[in-house]
């Protein structure tokens, strides 16, 4: 085969770009490279945004948890001195930490209640709710096991300290914890 001279060589790049290409759906001929059609792109972005939305059936449970945590936090802030006495009665913290915890815990509860209402932040907020419920459950269980008569202090000084009140508080805590687990797991498993 004869070797073409440099002057007579064919510009392969210009020939390839000017020729028709096969591609796209069903191998149809096109003058430009194949790109996905707009409806496919729109469907992909819609499915991505749908994953960030909270399902409607989760909202009643989230609102209940937010209301409980928000109300409990506000009541504790209004009676910080009383709440510090409730914390001291549990006998689980050194006396130097009782007042700081009595101030910080209500703020955390109010913050969690507010953040639960933001769909993009519900996963970390639900993790915070689970951690608070677990911590409170352990403290209550410790008081029950030791036979220390306490009231939870969650909604002010509405109950007299007793083992009966501690059992009821432990039950309420278990219900909140149980409601929060599936809500959190749905957000962890979401792609």
On whether residue 30 sits in a domain, the answer given is: no
The per-residue pLDDT string of the chain (191 residues; one tens digit each, 9 = 90 and over) reads 556 555 555 555 544 444 455 555 555 555 666 565 555 444 444 334 444 677 788 899 999 999 999 999 999 999 999 999 999 999 999 999 999 999 999 999 999 999 999 999 999 999 999 999 999 999 999 999 999 888 888 877 677 888 888 899 999 999 999 999 999 998 887 65
> Is 72 inside a domain boundary?
yes
- Examine residue 12 and state whether it is found in any structural domain, yes or no: no
What per-residue confidence (pLDDT) applies to 133? 96
What integer pLDDT is reported at residue 45 of this predicted model? 42
Q: DSSP code of 147? A: T
Quick check: pTM over 0.75?
no
Whether 165 is in a domain gets the answer yes
* pLDDT, position 42: 46
**What is the per-residue DSSP string for 27-42?**
G-EESS-----HHHHH
Q: What is the pLDDT of residue 93?
A: 94
Q: Give the per-residue pLDDT at 164.
A: 85
* Cα four-point dihedral sign 13, 15, 20, 26: negative
Q: How many CB atoms lie within 10 A of CB 76?
A: 25
For 17-24, which contacts have Cβ atoms below 8 Å and span 24 or more sequence positions? none
The confidence score (pLDDT) of residue 138 equals 96
Residue 53, in any domain of the structure = no
Give a yes or no: residue 65 inside a domain: yes
Domains contained in the chain, number: 1
In a domain, 5, yes or no: no
Residue 95 falls inside a structural domain: yes
Q: Whole-angstrom distance between the N-terminal and C-terminal Cα of the chain?
A: 59
Domain boundaries, position 136: 59-189
Picking from 141, 72, 140, 137, the residue whose alpha carbon sits closest to that of residue 108 is 72
**Which bin fits 28, alpha (ψ -120 to 50), beta or left (φ > 0)?**
beta
Phi and psi at 141, nearest 5°, equal -60, -40
């Amino acid at each position: 085969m004869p070797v073409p001279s440099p002057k007579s060589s064919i510009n392969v790049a210009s020939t390839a770009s000017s020729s028709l290409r096969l591609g796209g759906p069903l191998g149809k001929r096109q003058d430009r490279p194949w790109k996905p059609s707009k409806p496919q792109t729109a469907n992909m972005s819609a499915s991505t945004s749908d994953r960030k939305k909270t399902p409607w059936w989760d909202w009643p449970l989230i609102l209940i948890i937010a209301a409980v945590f928000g109300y409990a936090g506000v009541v504790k802030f209004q009676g910080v001195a009383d709440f510090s006495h409730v914390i001291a009665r549990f006998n689980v913290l050194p006396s130097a930490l009782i007042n700081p915890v009595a101030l910080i815990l209500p703020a955390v509860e109010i913050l969690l209640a507010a953040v639960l209402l933001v769909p993009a932040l519900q996963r970390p907020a639900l993790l915070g709710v689970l951690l608070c419920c677990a911590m409170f459950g352990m403290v209550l269980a410790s008081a029950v096991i030791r036979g220390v008569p306490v009231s939870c202090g969650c909604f002010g000084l509405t109950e007299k300290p007793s083992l009966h009140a501690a059992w009821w508080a432990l039950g309420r805590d278990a219900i909140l914890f149980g409601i929060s687990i599936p809500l959190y797991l749905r957000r962890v498993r979401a792609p």
